[in-house]
């Protein structure tokens, strides 16, 4: 039960056969703990294993134009560097936000497994497609919305994704994000993120203290963010309660 969240996610989406499920549970892996700010992977690396996030939070980031731009967050059950299976050279850094634990699964074992089972290959391909959809949504977020909507949208996405892996309880979840992280993800300055969060607080839509985010009026926050969760392509949620 190391990468259990991954398995149940794949199960929910692709309806794995019993055989495929045991293939997954038999995958070899090594667990590793990460401290806040520790790098899992650097741009240019050619890793020989893939990572599954077991707990905590990773960010994909790169320094562009003297800013640290975060292009994605990865939660428990996600495989941030699955692309390295087919694109060997990592094109971003992968960094732990707060402390995390990960499992490393050798490329060789994954390749072998997918050769044996086309169903599993599909399931993993699908995971990468969902992340691609998330990147596109971020493009829309950064390109079209101003600060208020941008931050609200990020919060909505994180909430739904946390719920999906059973880590959010009635719109409330622990997350070690600093306002600097939000700024890096939203393409804004820390100062402005601070004022923006205060504005969302002031509207009575969220609470955020002590590394815990609570959506007080989820529907209004979604409306503010123009958020619709279809792009996450989540079927059959496996745990956690729904926001709405």
Partner DNA sequence: CGGGGGCTTGAAACTGATCAAAACGCGTGG
Partner DNA sequence: CCACGCGTTTTGATCAGTTTCAAGCCCCCG
Where helices occur in the chain by DSSP H, the ranges are: 4-14, 18-25, 107-116, 118-144, 147-164, 179-186, 190-202, 218-225
CB of 208 to DNA, least distance (A): 8
When binding is defined by CB under 8 A, the residue of 86, 195, 211, 242 that contacts a second copy is: 86
Nearer to a second copy, 62 or 211 (CB): 62
Phi, psi of 99 (to 5 degrees): -90, 145
Which H or E element spans position 55? strand 49-55
Does residue 92 interact with a second copy by CB under 8 A? yes
Least separation in angstroms between CB 101 and a second copy = 25
Show contacts with DNA in window 199-218 (CB under 7 A).
210
Window 35 to 64, contacts with a second copy (CB under 8 A): 60, 62, 64
Question: What is d(CA 68, CA 61) in angstroms, rounded to the nearest whole number?
Answer: 7
Smallest distance, Å, CB 188 to DNA? 4
Q: State which of residues 4, 172, 178, 214 lies at the interface with DNA (CB under 7 A).
A: 178
133 is a site residue for a second copy (CB under 8 A): yes
**Least Å from the CB of residue 77 to a second copy:** 18
* Contacts (Cβ under 8 Å, ≥6 apart) of 156: 218, 221, 222, 225, 227, 229
Q: How far is 20 from 116, CA to CA, in rounded Å? A: 9
The span of 17-25, 95-103, 209-217, 224-232 binding a second copy (CB under 8 A) equals: 224-232
* Nearest residue (CB) to DNA, 77 versus 98: 98
What, of DNA, a second copy, none, does residue 210 touch, CB below 5 to 8 Å by kind?
DNA
* Cβ atoms within 10 Å of 206's Cβ, excluding its own: 22
SS3 208: strand
- Three-state DSSP at 70 gives strand
198 makes contact with DNA (CB under 7 A): yes
Give the Cα separation of 238 and 244 in Å (integer): 16
Alpha-carbon gap, residue 8 to 130, rounded angstroms:
16
- 64 counts as binding DNA under rule CB under 7 A: no
Residue 106 contact partner, candidates DNA, a second copy, none, CB within 5 to 8 A by sort of partner = none
* Whole-Å CA distances, 200 to 8, 17, 204, 238: 34, 45, 7, 30
**Interface with DNA (CB under 7 A):** 146-148, 178-180, 187-192, 194-195, 197-198, 210
Q: Give me the residues that bind a second copy (CB under 8 A), please.
A: 60, 62, 64-65, 67, 69, 71-72, 83, 86-87, 89, 91-92, 114-115, 118, 121-122, 125-126, 128-133, 135-136, 138-146, 149, 185-187, 226, 230-231, 233
């Amino acid at each position: 039960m190391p990468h259990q969240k991954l398995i149940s996610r794949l199960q929910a989406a692709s309806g794995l056969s019993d055989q495929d499920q045991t293939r997954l549970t038999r995958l070899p892996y090594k667990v590793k703990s990460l401290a806040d700010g520790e790098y899992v992977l650097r741009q240019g690396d050619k890793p020989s294993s893939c990572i599954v996030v077991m707990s905590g939070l990773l960010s994909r980031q790169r320094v562009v134009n003297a800013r640290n731009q975060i292009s994605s967050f990865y939660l428990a059950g996600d495989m941030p560097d699955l692309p390295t299976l087919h694109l060997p050279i990592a094109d971003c850094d992968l960094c732990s936000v707060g402390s995390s634990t990960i499992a490393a699964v050798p490329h060789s074992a994954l390749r072998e497994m997918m050769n044996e089972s086309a169903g599993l290959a599909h399931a993993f391909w699908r995971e990468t497609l969902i992340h691609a959809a998330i990147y596109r949504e971020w493009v829309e977020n950064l390109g079209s919305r101003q600060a208020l909507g941008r931050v609200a949208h990020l919060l909505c996405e994180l909430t739904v994704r946390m719920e999906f892996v059973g880590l959010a309880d009635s719109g409330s979840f622990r997350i070690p994000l600093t306002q600097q992280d939000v700024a890096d993800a939203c393409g804004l300055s820390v100062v402005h993120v601070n004022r923006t969060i205060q504005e969302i607080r002031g509207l009575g839509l969220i609470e955020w203290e002590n590394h815990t985010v609570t959506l007080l009026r989820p529907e209004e926050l979604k409306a503010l963010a123009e958020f619709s969760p279809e792009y996450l392509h989540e079927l059959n949620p496996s745990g956690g309660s729904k926001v709405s």
